[in-house]
Amino acid sequence: MSGQSLKFLASAPRGFADLLLRELGACGAAQLRERSSGVAFTGTLESAYRACLWSRVANRVYLELAHFEARDADEFHAAVRRIDWAAHLGPGTTLACDFTGRHPAITHTHFGALKLKDGIVDALRSATGARPDVALERPGVRVHAHARDTDISVSIDLSGESLHRRGYRGAAGEAPLKENVAAGVLLRCGWPELAALGAEFLDPMCGSGTLCIEAALIAADRAPGLTRDYFGFLGWRGHDAPLWARLCAEAEARAAAGEVAAQVSVRGTDRDPTAIRSARDNAARAGVGRLVRADTGVLAEAAPLAERDPDRPGLLCTNPPYGLRLEGPEGARALHRELGAVLRQRFQGWNAGVLTGAPELGKELGLRAHRTHSVWNGAIECRLLRINVVPDSQREPGTLGKGAAHLGDTPGASMFANRLGKNLKRLRSWAEREGVSCYRVYDADMPEYAFAIDVYRTIEPEELWLYVQEYAAPAEIELQAVRRRRGEVLATLPRTTGVAPERIRVRLRRRTRRGEQYDKVDEQAHFHVVTEGGLRFRVNFADYLDTGLFLDHRVTRARVRDAVRGKRFLNLFAYTGTATVYAAAGGAASTTSVDLSRTYLQWAQRNLALNALAGDAHAWVQADCREWLAEAVRGSERFDVVFLDPPTFSNSRRMQGVLDIERDHPELIDACVRLLAPEGLLIFSTNAQRFRLDEQLGERYDIRDVSAATLPKDFERNPRIHRCFEVRPRLSQAGS
């Protein structure tokens, strides 16, 4: 296989595909075709190995094995089985499978990955009589399937894990900048050309040193893959070990020569001594400890080297803290203004690259960017501002620059403000009358402004907060339009709602993913307290995609409280225990709360204690709910009221198998009914948008659809927000 021409696809962070195309050309790739997030190409195995070793911006490199049409899961499984997997997986090789893209019948990526794995296992069992073990971390072979409608390609992931994992990073620190994104930023800013001229490099807010290390790797001609000890091809049966050894030896020789030849100065400073220690350790692990100098220092004192030749070029490149890394927008604005002042005062004649995850902060620099690029660091859309620090680039801090209209004054912003204002007027009076302190005020009422906006009134201190979730736009919507509408919304919110910008939190929610309420996005652990139904709850606006209080279940929780006096209550998939708190307040004789996450169970216990309801009557069980149910039905304990509110889809690494509520709800409901005492009640709720209750359940149980009755007034614009059912066993079934 080493000498034949093969088909490959390399992926990269959004915004860097053109850079990847250039890199692949240098690796010997041919027939290169740029895509939105990668490059398709042909070449020999050597060109793919070189890409894995030398690409600074690639995420992954895939070797295509097959391309076919499959209209449903069965056709997909059959097509996968026809591939000669014995040519790719040897005896004892571990396996992992991924599925991406959009398919009309395979609507869950985890289900697609499961069918891919089943096809491979069935094929190998038939061919060899043995099946491979699955390993989610560092498998011997990782297989990837991607769907574009009914067209599916199946590939070997030669990288095995993302190539941004160079192997040098220790503790990542806060809001880490991915290594390949850092390298892409440096390539955009012309660092390779500047380094060849012996330029000076400075990152005055270097954190764990990623930009400095990537700058040194470029300057020293050191392959970014040299420090990695794992690639996906190492366990692949088609791996050419002598070829790989030759390429690594060549890269080692280039690195040794490059370190001697490098004449650059690469410096990083940061006010945090712990970050500086990490930067030094990371640089040493990357093999560039001699080239990188990292020192403790504050931004205000940043300056070129004192002995600097005035004709020597320089690049200041940095990723200032923002959003996740600073407490509030005001701190971020002040920091960007300080950075702009330092650049204007001390770095005249330098080039600067400023990567910010809050694009509106760019205007605070007081410098006009000659080029602006949209790039993505993971799920965070960022703006790279390239600046020539010369007198002509200066402008008044806080202004948008020539020709830019204020986004809050556009016709679109006015229409959005008008709709939001009407909603607020209507719902505020209702909320005050009903004693509701947290409610949804807008939910994609205007499709082009696809946001969900919730109002939270906290206590101690009493403040208004806005929790804003942006639904990810479809791929066919132009990125420029998405950014403009987001800017219009964010510019409009403070003056329309009266909520200060520092108390507005924004999250991006991708509708195609399931179970996202369990995804952590930050680590601030900053909680606030709100009230609902006379009870207190802890909420978190920073760390998760949900706050810990599902507002659409407000009425459902009240129904739980009304149903449990003197009864035994079970809360499955308990999350932060809000239903448990309602049950305890309603006089339940006992409660049992089951969830896989220790973090959420601790949160739930604190919610109960916050209401002075904690005690021995309340049990907390950390377990996979399905495993716990299977064990519990064999025991003697029974419950009078069960609340079942599972995630729509979940494949937690600690959970056995994949939970798909549309597929698995009959099994869950059957198990719950078996736990009910005579005349017991199961309340089953789901947020699956296209949910249909299995008709056979209605033949076994008495079921009442209470979806409309549990829909709060503030969610009336979206009646599909959840489905809710009351399920009662027929007398002969309860506890059987």
List where CATH 3.30.2130.30 sits in the chain.
6-157
CA distance 601 to 589: 20
pLDDT at residue 524 greater than cutoff 50: no
Give 277's pLDDT tier (boundaries 50, 70, 90): very high
pLDDT tens-digit profile of 685-712? 999 888 999 989 999 999 999 999 999 9
What CATH number belongs to 527-729? 3.40.50.150
pLDDT at residue 516 greater than cutoff 50: no
pLDDT at residue 405 greater than cutoff 50: no
pLDDT at residue 353 greater than cutoff 60: yes
- pLDDT at residue number 321: 81
Residue 109 buriedness (CB in 10 A; 0-12 / 13-18 / 19+): buried
β-strand partners of 442: 453
Least confident of 49-53, 328-332, 509-513, 571-575: 509-513
pLDDT at residue 70 greater than cutoff 80: yes
List where CATH 3.40.50.150 sits in the chain.
527-729
pLDDT tens-digit profile of 577-596? 999 999 999 999 999 999 99
β-strand partners of 64: 155
Give 394's pLDDT tier (boundaries 50, 70, 90): low
Encoded tokens for 300: 């205000």
pLDDT tens-digit profile of 80-105? 999 999 999 999 999 999 999 999 99
Name the residue among 140, 157, 136, 151 with its Cα closest to residue 64: 157
Q: Is 642 helix (H, G, I), strand (E, B) or coil?
A: strand
Inter-axis angle of helices 598-610 and 578-585, nearest 10: 30
- pLDDT at residue number 661: 86
pLDDT at residue 312 greater than cutoff 90: no
- pLDDT at residue number 357: 78
End-to-end CA distance of the chain: give it in Å, rounded. 61
- pLDDT at residue number 308: 57
Q: Is 113 helix (H, G, I), strand (E, B) or coil?
A: helix
Which DSSP symbol is given to 394?
B
Cα dist from 429 to 68, 422, 424, 708, whole Å: 58, 12, 9, 22
pLDDT at residue 630 greater than cutoff 50: yes
- pLDDT at residue number 558: 97
The chain-wide mean pLDDT, for the chain, equals 89
- pLDDT at residue number 523: 42
CATH domain 408-512 topology: Transcription Regulator spoIIAA (3.30.750)
Give me the mean pLDDT over the 431-440 stretch. 94
Give me the mean pLDDT over the 485-492 stretch. 88
Q: Given the structure tokens 């960017």, which residue do they identify?
A: 369
CATH domain 6-157 topology: VC0802-like (3.30.2130)
**Which has more pLDDT, 391 or 56?**
56
**Which has more pLDDT, 539 or 516?**
539
pLDDT at residue 306 greater than cutoff 90: no
Are residues 327 and 367 in contact, defined by beta-carbon separation less than 8 angstroms?
no
pLDDT at residue 641 greater than cutoff 90: yes
pLDDT at residue 521 greater than cutoff 60: no
Amino acid at 667: E
Name the residue among 401, 306, 312 with its Cα closest to residue 349: 312
Cα dist from 204 to 108, 183, 215, 303, 570, whole Å: 44, 17, 14, 9, 54
CA distance 48 to 156: 12
Highest mean pLDDT among 22-36, 47-61, 335-349: 47-61
Element (H or E) spanning 146, and its range? strand 141-148
Give 406's pLDDT tier (boundaries 50, 70, 90): low
Which DSSP symbol is given to 556?
H
Name the percent of the chain lying above pLDDT 70.
90
pLDDT at residue 8 greater than cutoff 60: yes
Give 474's pLDDT tier (boundaries 50, 70, 90): confident
Are residues 153 and 146 in contact, defined by beta-carbon separation less than 8 angstroms?
yes
